[in-house]
Every structure is written in C-alpha cells, then in structure tokens.
Chain A
Amino acid sequence: MLDRINIAYSQIDKAHKLLGRRINVMEVCGTHTVSVFRAGLREAFPKGLKLLSGPGCPVCVTDQGYIDVVLSLAERDDCLIATYGDMIRVPGRKGSLERKADRGNIKIILSAQDALNLAKQNPGKKVLFVAVGFETTAPATAIVVNEAMQQGIKNLFIFSNHKLVVPAMQALLLDKNNKIDAFLCPGHVSVIIGSDAYKPVVEQFKKPCVVAGFEPMQIIEALAEICRQIVDGKPQACSLYSAVVTGAGNKTAQKIIEETFDAVDGYWRGLGQINKSTLKLKEKFSSLDAEKHFKVEFIPQEDITGCRCGQVLCGLIDPPECGLFAKSCTPDTPVGPCMVSSEGACAAWFKYARRKRQK
C-alpha cells in the first residue's frame, strides 16, 4: 500500500512543480471531509496539494431561515417533527431542536420511510418531515411522497429543501475569488447522478471532476488522477469508483426525482441564491407540501453574527480562520452548522486536527 501512496504522491509533486504553485482541490462531500481527517491525510499529503472543504454537507448548506421555520413549527402542540439526527443541534434564533426535545415531539429518523410510518402511527398529529440532503436522500423522499399520495395519508407534510450538487459547484466557480483547481466529487451523490453529470462543469470551467470512494487509498488515488489531468492539460469528468458509480448513474432514481420535484432557485448558506438548485414538490403533490399547508415561507437570513460557516463551505477559509472556532464555537456549544453536523468541516477540523488543547 505504501508503494501506491508514494506513486500517487509523486504525481502530486509533478503537478505542483508544473503549476509552480499549490493545487487546490475541493472535496465536495462531507463524508470525504471526514474520511480525509480520520485517515490523517491532511498532514500526510505532499505540501503541494491542499484540500478545501466544500458545500457537501446538507445540514451546513441549509439556510438559517429554513431552520427557524422548523423551530417555530416545533412549538406547535399538533406537530411531530421528523428529522435526521444531524439537524437537531443546529442553533436557530430560538434555540435548537435538541433543546426543544423535552416536549417529546422531535423524532429522529433514519430514513424517509420512518417519517411515513410516524404519520401512520400518529393519526392525530401532523408530521413534518424535515427533508434535507442532496440527490442521495431526494429519491427516498420522492418514494415516500408517492406512497403517501397513493395511500391517502393526510397528516404527513414534506418541508423540502433538497439540494442539487452540480449547480452549487458551478456557482462556486463563477465566484471570481474562488481558488478551486479541481473537484473531488462525492461518491454517494454520484451513484445517483452518474459521473457524466459533471461534464458541464468540465466543459465550461476546464476543471477536473473525479469521483472517488471513501477509503483513504481511493481518495489518494483520485487526487493523483486529478493531478495527472492537470499535468496533461486534459480535465475530465470521470469515476475511479467504477464498481458503484457509472457514467449515467441510477436512471430510476433520477426519474422519480424528476417526476416528484421541480428544480427551483434556492438559497444556500454561504452561497446565496443559486438558479435551479433546490427541489420543491410538484404542484400535484401540494397537499403534502408543508410550506403550503402551514402557510410558512422561509426567508433567507443572515448568518449568526461572527459565524463564518458560509466562507468555510465555499472553501474560502479554513475553519481555524474563523474567530469563533474552538472559542465560543465548539461541538458542545455550536454557533454554526459546520460545527454541528458530523460531516461539517468545522466539526471534523475540531475533532481530528492537531491544535492546542483548551482546558
């Protein structure tokens, strides 16, 4: 294994010399962020390569305004909130779901199906499904939406804030301050959308987009492949995770997403409004649409004062550059979502990177 690592590192060195500067690769996916830290890769890499954490953690990119709406609905006695675990500790303006959990109406679920089951088991309650995530979780939400319609379920409401990865990558590259030379593309999302989905990014911006698995060796070799493409001057959209990610992706999942949702302009923390980047339920499912039923609308909100999560997830700064990091903002007392989510860059940095211990 160490031989393979050395070969990969020499490829990185070669690209570094050719460019005459450091190569910045953005890992789009939060699972990659965590894998990189857990394996101690950041400290082991050649100095000529830097990884920037990207907007691939669903909790982190969720706008503050959305969280505030969920918190306000959590105060209603007739509502059960069905949410993935990572969302419960994100602070809003009025506390967090975890701090409200003592009323017993916050239910942590592992899949969209659990939200449907919760609605069936609690016919007297309105179940609000906090539907966040990328193309990985959107198909499961879509299946549940269709099942709930067919079964005539009247007490399940979907608050959809599913996000699309490719529009975000394009938005990042359109920012003239961006430092990104290439993308390490997410394994799970790419199973659904396929590696061909990144072709528009490569064509428009000439940046390599390489899909990798989550084992440290797979990540190292994907970075070497990126460097090879930079040296050859031939950026491509490709997958080194070929056992699971194909060029075309999962057509069935793509189809159900298309049939259930419309891609609309949506707000992202840090990135602002991005065209056709957010999935909302189609008109025919409006009876299940939480925004319509509860007549709520989320208005994008400024981040909490001093929190620089927005810049962290655009790869503009490393977490320690934020003035709150490891001071007032820690995993026990998170200020921003990147410190809350187990896949957030700040949480990973806090947990795994070496720094002076705070007593």
Chain B
Amino acid sequence: MSANDKILLAHGGGGRLTDELIRNVILSTLGNYSLNKLTDSAEIKIGQTNVCFTTDSFVVKPLFFNGGDIGKLAVCGTINDLAVSGSKPLVLSLSLILEEGLEIEVLRKVLHSAARAAKEENVEIVCGDTKVVEAGSADKLFINTSGIGLKLLKADIGFERIAAGDKIIVSGTIGDHGMTIMSHREGMKFESEMKSDCGSVAQICANVIDALGEDIKFMRDPTRGGLAATLNEIVNQIELGIEIQESQIPVNPTVKAAADMLGFDILEIANEGKVVIVVSAQKAQKCLEICKQCEKGKEAATIGQVVKNGEPLVELVTKIKGRRIVQMPYGRELPRIC
C-alpha cells in the first residue's frame, strides 16, 4: 500500500482487501505475539487463569431487520468470538456512538434487545461508554462491544491442530443473515420469507468441547465473507486443502434464490449465528449429533473434510459432480452487514 492509497469500502468487507489492510497497516504498526495470530480472541493468562478477550464494532444498516437488530447483533457477535475460541463468555462492555438527532426510543429499543440477548446467555454488560457526534458524522447508531471469557479447561483449539482427514461441520443453513440484510435494502419482495440467524453459538461450542475435548480442533463463526472466507482462512494457515460437497451444505431455498437473483455466491454470504467446526474424523458423527441436539444446531451438517493432496485450496464438489475452487472473497459486495 502506498502513501496515497485511501480506504475503500472493500477494506471493511472481510475479504482480501481487509486482510491486506490488517497485515500491511495495522499489524505492521501494532503487531505483537498475540495480535499477530489473528484469532477471534486473544488468550491471556491472569495469574493461573486463562481468559479470552475480544472486541467488535457493529455498524449494520438497517438497525432493525427480520431476526434481530444491532443490539442483539452486538452482544451475540462478541459472545460468538469468545465461544469459538473455546471459552465461556462472562462479561461484556458496550459502547455507543450516537448521531445527533437519533430518536431516544430507537436507542431504548436497541438496548432492550441487547439486554435480553445478554441475559439469555448469562453474560453481564459491566461497563460502557457513550459518545454523540454531529448529524452526518455517523449513521444513526454504531456499537462496540468487548468481552471476556473463561477458557474452558478441555479446549485445545488452534490452526496447528488441524490434520488431514478431519471433518468440517457447519451448525446450520448458511447465508441467512447477509441475504436478509441485502434483500431488505434492495426492497426485494421475498424479504419477509428470510430471517437473519443473528444469535449465539455459545451453547453449541460449549457442548462439543465438553463432550469431545481435544477432538475439536478448531472453530470459527463464518461472519463477513461467509463460509468461503472462513475456510480460506483455515487453508492459509495449515498448508492442507479442504474439500466440501455442495450437496451437503445446508441452505434455505429462499435465501439461495435471492442470492442467485442478485448474482451472489451463497458461500460468500455472511452468517451471524453459525459456527464452523473442524473435528477429528473419529468423533465427527458424535459432534454432529451434539450440534443437532442444540436449539440452534438442528440443521447442522458435515460438509467436507481436510485433505492432503496437492495445493492448499478450498475445493467445492458441485451437485453435478463438477469441481471448482472457492476463493477468499474480494469483499466489496457486502458493505455494513454487521
């Protein structure tokens, strides 16, 4: 990146440009052992206790959508980052950036929703901050949440633990959140048939770790950039390939139709209540059963496996038995979905 480059929307899209910005501008300035790992949360030792610490900002537009709102999203998003890191979420901070002119009633509604989501997950919001900016300097309401979780003793999660033969499980249908938001914005008529999956995956994560311990190799919530981004982040770190089966990937047919109509690849569409789990082949079936027993994992499926043949690529075997690679998305298509 040169001195004259400017920030593009695609730098926030969770794809290749985001990655470039993080590596070339942020890590080159702020990088350290913990930050450089680019995991969903940092693991810190305080005394004899291992805790996970993470932060996330939320700028979704519209503020309210079918299945959730920015308040619920802000709480669940940070809870999910803690949960997929193998920790039990304990406390959150919640900071607001408000635009002059925002109706107090809107704020109240968002905060009620955040409180409800936190209560459901037994997480307390223990600190926060409020700033107001002039009309036009922000779009209504932005939220930042940070969170601390207690590392689960049985959790042993990391890219380095992934091996050829491991199975890939996704906890339910993909693309629901991103397509709900985009259809809403574009006024598509099947919007009402779609619902964001905005929610917590903490129960699924805790249950699979509790039952299977170190057989759970890695977990990540496939948010911006969708399944395509998450799987590519994995192969970039492990120098092994991943092969997934199109016919096994759970998708809501309306969501698929909307994505096709707008020309999107469903694999690149964001989720806000799903987790991708890499599990040993021996325990994959058990892991799938545990997911399915959870309320939010009923439609979980084993979609593929880690393979060792040739290059570290994500490859999709299509329904008609063709093959193609799945790349890290560019990121431009999906501004402000979370």
Contact = CB atoms under 8 A, between A and B. Distances in A.
A239 to B, nearest CB: 20
B321 A44 contact: yes
B311 A40 contact: no
Interface stretch (A190-198, A292-300, A347-355): A347-355
Contacts of A217: 320
Interface residues of B, number: 27
Contact of A332 (B16, B311, B317): B16
Contacts of A98: 8
B319 A39 contact: yes
B93 interface: no
Interface string A316-344: 00000000000000011000000000110
A37 B20 CA distance: 26
B324 A216 contact: no
Contact of A39 (B17, B320, B325): B320
Contact of A43 (B17, B313, B324): B324
Nearest to A36: B322
A357 B312 CA distance: 8
Contacts of A226: none
B327 interface: yes
Nearest to A220: B320
Interface string B294-324: 0000000000000000011101111111111
Given A38-B324, A98-B8, A352-B324, A216 B16 contact: no
Contacts of A354: 313, 315, 323-325
A313 B9 CA distance: 29
Interface residues of A, number: 34
B289 interface: no
B124 interface: no
A352 B325 contact: yes
Contacts of B315: 354
A103 to B, nearest CB: 11
A2 interface: yes
A110 interface: yes
Contacts of B321: 2, 5, 40, 44
A174 interface: no
Contacts of B319: 1, 39, 216
B138 to A, nearest CB: 15
A352 to B, nearest CB: 4
Contacts of B160: none
B6 interface: yes
A214 B325 CA distance: 20
Given A34-B263, A331-B330, A353-B325, A40 B186 contact: no
14 contacts: A37-B324, A38-B265, A40-B318, A40-B322, A40-B323, A42-B322, A44-B321, A89-B332, A216-B318, A217-B320, A331-B330, A352-B324, A354-B325, A357-B312
Interface of A: 1-2, 5, 31, 34, 37-44, 89, 98-99, 101-102, 110, 214, 216-217, 220, 331-332, 342-343, 350-354, 356-357
